[in-house]
Structures are given as C-alpha cells and as structure tokens.
Amino acid sequence: MDYRYLGRSGLKITEITYGNWLTHGSQVENDVATACVRAALDAGITTFDTADTYANGKAEEVLGAALASERRESLEIFTKVYWPVGLKGPNDTGLSRKHIMEGINGSLRRLNMDYVDLYQAHRFDYETPLEETISAFADVVRAGKALYIGVSEWNAEQLRRGQLLAREAGFALVSNQPQYSALWRVIEPEVIPAAKELGMSQVVWSPMAQGVLSGKYLPGQPAPAGSRATDEHGGANTIKAYLDDSILTNVQKLRPIADELSLSMPQLAIAWVLQNENVATALVGASRPEQVAENVAASGVKIPAELMAAIDEALAPSIVNDPAKTLSPATRVA
C-alpha cells in the first residue's frame, strides 16, 4: 500500500481509504462491517473515512468499535459535519458554530476517540457566514479535537474564499472530498487547478461511479441480484443515473484495457483516479471482506499514457465534465 501526503501538509495517508458510507450501520450487519474493517487493516489500509450523518451516527459507532483494539497513532480517521443528525431539529444541520461544536463532540463520542485526523465540511453552507464556519473550525483545531480541516464538494470560488479565511485564522484547509471517476470529471476544469494553487488535494469518493465502472451492470440486462441497483435502502437511488444502456455499453469497452493491464474492472477504475497527481486517496467501501483485497490491488498501478487515452476515447460520449455540476445544496436539507 502506497502513501501520499494530504495537501500541503505533513500528514501521510494511504492512497486507498476505506469508507463506510451506505454500508456500516445500514446495509450490512455489524459483524460483516467489522470483518471488512479488519480486512482493510490486513491489506495495509490505515486511513478510514466516515461521517456523522451516515446511518444517523451508527456508521461512526461501528467504525469506532471495529478499530478499538488498534493503536490510535497508527490510524488516520476522517469524519464530517453538515447534514442533519440526531433529532434533526433546526440547528442539527449546517456549518454554524453551534452545529460544528456539537458535531465534533458527537463524532468523538461515537468513535470513542479523543481526536480525528481530518474534520471535513460535508457541503458548503450558504446560510451561515463563512467567517463563522472557519472560526469554529479553527477552535476545533486549537482544542485538539481535529488535527486537520478539509471540505467536501466545494467549488473553486468557495475553496479560495475558505482558504483565505483559514490562513487568517491560523490554519489551512488541506483537502476537498468530491465525487470523481472516469465518468464524472466535473472537478477537472476548475476545482483541481484551484486546489493545486491553494495547497489542497482531493479525497475522492465513488471512483467506480457507484459501481457502474465495475462492469457488472450489462446493457439490456437486469441488475445483478444483491447489487447496489437492487438495494432499497438508498443504494438504488444513488446509481440509477448511470444505468443507461449507452453508458453501460461504453463501460464495457474498458474490459480489454483492464485485461491488458491484468486488472479487474474495479481495479482499473480506482487506478484511473490515482493517476491524477492532485488525488491523495480514493475512497472505497465494501459489503464483503474479499472486496477490500481486490480494491487494494489498484494501489501503485501506473497506467501508460496510451491506455489513459484509450479510456478517454471509450467513455467520451458518457463523460460529465461541466464544473457547474460541482454544487452544494442552495439551502439546508432537513
């Protein structure tokens, strides 16, 4: 497992991060979730990503319990704040000082940890002054409850404004967590250039485009039993935009490229995002322990330029790269 620096910081993280969105505390039993975490550790992953809103706090609890026996200093733990949690009252969402302070305390309690390595703004909050948000994050860092601060799905202008205020407050934003894959490239025109300028790197989620780049969804065929597309607890909604026969047909054109590299289709998808030097790590999840070992094999893979071009050509009609699609919700969603 290779390590990369997180932004312009001294923190090293595994270039594949284990994330527990849509799995722990909701879609899989706790013993299976724990087995997946153990498989990640066995494979060399030391970086783990979660959020307070995942399964309304249960995902943090499951992750904390699964890691309880590990040396805390040997792990890099990421969590997030913004979306509604708890009873979902008027102050249980957003990036107000109140919600950030209560959010970090709740996350640490559920994780059963004294601090997290990276605390992330899960979205941009248009309803709270950015100065208030950054000031609160600065106090979280000074209190030792988070070592670094990052954001998620912020556009280029928001990154620049946030970084300016952060530096004035005595710290720096080190990362952005966007959706990014060979199909979804909306961060390439504006966000990545801004991040490079600001000393931030990307912690990318959905490198397999909700599983479509795994190649298991075939045009004209029903979704495989037990796949995300058949999950009624949220998974089906996240993938439905990709289940278009034209997209699925283009994805199948990647199979010979994966074969040439002796990679599986999931490994090719993960390796593709890691070719971008501004990507510090790719988030991967798992519903079975054996999936973790397969994903980790993408670490350290170098895809030749001619095959990167071939991937572009195969997917070209289906690629989304409009920077306007890098959006946080205009108002808080309760």
Could you confirm whether 148 is annotated as catalytic? Answer: no
Identify whether the C-beta of residue 131 lies closer than 8 Å to the C-beta of residue 165.
yes
The DSSP-derived string for 110-167 is HHT-S-EEEEEESS--TTS-HHHHHHHHHHHHHTTSEEEEEESS--HHHHHHHHHHHH
Handedness of CA 25, 28, 33, 36 (dihedral sign): negative
Pairing, β 16-19 against β 146-151: unpaired
> What would you report as the CA-atom Rg of the chain, rounded to the nearest whole angstrom?
19
Options 3, 5, 18, 54, the catalytic residue: 54
Best CA proximity match to 258, nearest among 247, 246, 266: 266
Best CA proximity match to 120, nearest among 192, 176, 169: 176
Tokens representing residue 72 in the block: 């805390």
User: Which residues belong to the active site?
Assistant: 54
